[in-house]
Amino acid sequence: MFIAMNRFRIARGREEEFIDVWRQRDSRLAGVPGFVRFNLLQGATDDQATVFISHSTWESTAAFEAWTRSEAFRAAHAGAGQQKGLYLGPPQFEGFESVL
Mean pLDDT of 53-59: 97
Q: What is the mean pLDDT of the chain?
A: 92
CA distance 47 to 50: 9
Q: What is the pLDDT of residues 19-38, one digit of tens each?
A: 998 998 878 888 899 999 99
Q: What domains can be seen in the chain, in order of their start residue?
A: 2-97 (3.30.70.100)
What residues contact 20, with CB distance under 8 A and at least 6 apart?
none
pTM: 0.88
